[in-house]
Structures are given as C-alpha cells and as structure tokens.
Amino acid sequence: MSGPDTKPSPVIPAQASPVIPAQASPVIPAQAGIQAGAEHSDGPLRATSTSLLDSRLRGNDDEALRGNDERAVVLLAEPRGFCAGVDRAIDIVEAALAKFGAPVYVRHEIVHNTFVVNDLKKKGAVFIEDLADVPPGATLVFSAHGVSKAVQREAQARGFEVFDATCPLVTKVHVEVAKLAREGYEFLMIGHKGHPEVEGTMGQLDAGIHLVEDLAGVAGVQPVQTKRLAVVTQTTLSVDDAAEIMAAIKKRFPMVREPKQQDICYATQNRQDAVKMMSPSVDVVIVVGSPTSSNSNRLAEVARKLGVPSYMVDNAQELQPEWLQGRPRIGLTAGASAPEVLVQGVIERIRSLGAVSVRRLEGIEEKVKFPLPKGLKLDAPPA
C-alpha cells in the first residue's frame, strides 16, 4: 500500500532560531532504547561514506540558502537507513542470484525502495505480484513483508524453490497469531489496509482477525467474542499512533490481551526517536525514502507533529531548493529501506545549494544481524 500523500506541502515560514556556529558540532545524547540492527556489508547498497561527516563543505552561487544570516548546516539523524530485516532480505536475493543464477523471482518488492528494487533488477531479479507469472521450477523469494498462508500453499503446490525473506520480527507476529488462534483467540490488528505486511499477517488465519486502522476503527470493530481477544500490530507504524489506538482498544475491551513484546520493531522505534530528538534543533526535516515505504512516511509525520516542516524524497533530484529557503538548520534521516548511498546523494545536493557543514548526531548503535535461511549460505572460500 502506498503511504500517505507525500506531495510537497506549502512552505511554512521558518521561525527565528538561535545560531548554531559552523565550527561547533552539537551532540544530542541518545535516548535509551533497544540497541539492535544489522552489520552492513561493503556492497554498493550498504556503503556508508563518512567523508562528508563533521567536515566543512563548500557552497556555490545558488541563492537558495544564501539569503540567511546563519550558515546552513545539515544534521544527520542516528540511526537511519537500513535495518537488519532489510539487510537480510536484500542479502537473500543476492545470495540466490549468486547460487542459482538469474532470473530469481521475487513476490512483491523485496523492500519498499525504488533504488533497491531497480538495482536488483539489473542483477537479474524479477519482481512479480502473481505466482502465475513464475515459471515451473523457478527460484522464488518472498518479500520482507511476509505472505499469507494461501500464498505459501500455492508456491509449494507449484513446486518452486522458495526462500523466505520475511523479516524475523514479522515472522514473530505470525507465530504469535498461530499460537493464540489455537487457544481460541480472536484478533484485532492495528495497521494500514492494503499494506503487504498487513495482508500477510491477516492471511495467517482464514477468519477471526479484524483490521483497525484508526480510532474510528476501534469504535466500529465487531469481534464475534471478547473473552479471548488479542492485539497485534504492523511493525512499521507510528509508535505514538499505535499507542493511542491501543489505549482506545483497552478502554473498549478491558480484558484484551496485548502482545508480550511490542510488535513495532526496534528499528522503527529507534528511527522515530532519533527524529524526535533531532526536530527541536532543526528548521526542516528531509526524509530519504520511497512513497510506498510505511516507515519512511511515519518519520515525516513524526517531524510534522512536532511542528517541523518535513518532506520525503526518493532521491537527491527530488529535493526542491525552496524547501530549504530561510531554514538554515536541515535535519536529514532515512527510512529503514533506504540505502546510505541515497543519503549521501542528498547531502551532495544540499551542499550544492550552499550548506557549509554536515554533523552526525549521537544515537543508538544497532548491532543485530539476522542469518540467511538454510540453503543460501554460500560456501566459504578455502583457507
């Protein structure tokens, strides 16, 4: 499902703000949180350039940022970009291509990022929505968002070589749904209609799981019974919105069972927390991410709710100079499916518009790495 409309909103005049000296590098302490994530490989999608960080940048004659008394500075949120689940999903497609050769078929976009999908297409991945488009005996990868039981059964019946790139944190939700369903529970799922993750989770059952998108949905949902009622959520929601909906559910159904652990993933929460920390220090927030990326859209929403204008860009070319006019302190982050190479491209674009420095804020260091599925671990080279 495409995220909310991300067309550029009217430019909001910048408020007066204290000058941040170009030479000083303010560091915002990281909030407490789950320190998890993925170790990045050195591939082109994962390369993290530090050549621009904490360094002076030269501007040019563009007037977009030069009408300010303050010198423009870019503040980089930490963490940002790829999470462990996205890293694993991309690795699965690349490992399948290396082991079995092209083409490798992928049901739905492996992750919601245009650059990533196009890069994998060049390497031999073929993205499809209908399994009827996959030839017999082909290698098939399920996307990071997960799939329904019906899709799993169809793939098995057609005899495909299947590798499941579903994020393990999404799989955790699927396992919980199956377990509680066996105990007679009915479910409310907080999520966005049409999103592939929601379709996959709801598709774990033939019946007994109801979608709740907002507060109005809480008032309107009609479960068959309420003695055994449990809640699950999409992993990429706004933490604050999900909490508000959960509170309304508990008010209407006091005996509802909440997840043992929060379903919203650590990476989503960490990136939203980073934007919350960064927003008071900036005049505008730029989010690198594709329009279809739920977690990227949520980052832009978080900034806007804090009163900071925010814009999403799929690449550097989409950044409009007028968004930065009169806004010398520019916050920059990226959704969990956006590679660092795109962030660096946006930095170069802002640099060309007159930014004089780039500073990386302190944040949570993410260290988790999810393993590849059996059958895809390439043989280690001989010693």
Residue of 197, 199, 340, 366 with catalytic role: 197
Helix or strand run (H / E) with residue 86: helix 84-100
Shared fold status for 55-83+266-360 and 85-166: no
Least confident range from 63-77, 122-136, 175-189: namely: 63-77
Neighbours of 214 (CB within 10 A): 14
- Per cent of the chain over pLDDT 70 is 80
209's tokens: 């799981």
CA-CA-CA-CA dihedral for 251, 254, 256, 261, to nearest 10: 70
pLDDT digits (tens, 9 = 90+) for 136-157: 999 999 999 999 999 999 999 9
User: Which of 364, 307, 355 has its CA nearest to residue 332?
Assistant: 355
Residue 377's pLDDT is 74
pLDDT at 40 over 80: no
DSSP readout, 224-286? S-SSSEEEEE-TTS-HHHHHHHHHHHHHH-TTPBPPSS-SS-HHHHHHHHHHHHHGGG-SEEE
Residues 55-83+266-360, CATH architecture: 3-Layer(aba) Sandwich (3.40)
Task: Give residue 18's pLDDT band: very low, low, confident or very high (50, 70, 90).
Answer: very low
pLDDT digits (tens, 9 = 90+) for 73-112: 999 999 999 999 999 999 999 999 999 999 999 999 999 9
Task: Give residue 260's pLDDT band: very low, low, confident or very high (50, 70, 90).
Answer: confident
What pTM did the predictor assign? 0.82
Which residue, chain included where needed, has tokens 């369903």? 181
Strand order in 161-164's β-sheet? 125-128, 104-107, 139-142, 161-164
Q: Which CATH number fits domain 85-166: 3.40.190.10, 3.40.50.1000, 3.40.640.10, 3.40.50.11270?
A: 3.40.50.11270
Looking at per-residue pLDDT, the higher value among 380 and 300 belongs to: 300
Looking at per-residue pLDDT, the higher value among 313 and 1 belongs to: 313
Task: Give residue 54's pLDDT band: very low, low, confident or very high (50, 70, 90).
Answer: very low
Domain chopping of the chain, boundaries: 55-83+266-360, 85-166, 169-252
Residue 76 phi/psi, 5-degree rounding, is: -95, 125
CATH topology of domain 169-252: Cobalt-precorrin-4 Transmethylase; domain 1 (3.40.1010)
- Is 365 catalytic? The answer is no
pLDDT digits (tens, 9 = 90+) for 205-221: 999 999 999 999 999 99
